Amino acid sequence: MRAICDTHVLLFHALAPERLSRLAARAVAAGAENGQLACADISLWEIGMLHARGRLGLPADVRIDRFIADVLLDLQLQVLPITPEVAAMSQDPRFAHGDPADRLIAATALAEGLPLITADSRLQAVTALRCVW
């Protein structure tokens, strides 16, 4: 299944796979197996920021750049850039979401015409966005 992964999906997969819904876990597994998963580049920044704030709970000897690279490799993720279309779309009033990173992730999924694997109910409420959870 071709799909975009929200940041928390990447972290759940790597650190707490039991937190993924059954449907999300199947979508991630199928997408990884076929090299059909992607993430928005802002997700890499979000992971780095969460680590810097001490919110990931990684062992002290784990380098965050290595952790991110391992997640990308494990899931065979394609990292999608912020394009002019994504930047403009992220400001669409349909997104009631106040988090700019989540707006960019959702806009990336819309611009690519792909479903977004996410547990975020505010993103799931965006009618134009196809969500998997």
Q: What is the CA radius of gyration of the chain?
A: 14
C-alpha dist (Å) from residue 60 to 51, 52, 57: 11, 12, 9
What are the extents of the domains in the chain?
Answer: 3-132
- Orientation of helix 64-75 relative to helix 22-33, angle to 10°: 80
* Residue 66: partners with Cβ closer than 8 Å, 6 or more residues away: none
Better-scored residue on pLDDT, 33 or 97: 33
Q: What is the pLDDT of residue 49?
A: 96
Q: What is the pLDDT of residue 1?
A: 65
Q: What is the pLDDT of residue 52?
A: 93
Taking phi first (over 0 means left), then psi (-120 to 50 degrees means alpha), and beta for anything else, what does residue 54 get?
left
Q: What is the pLDDT of residue 38?
A: 98
Model pTM?
Answer: 0.94
The domain made up of 3-132 is a member of CATH 3.40.50.1010: yes
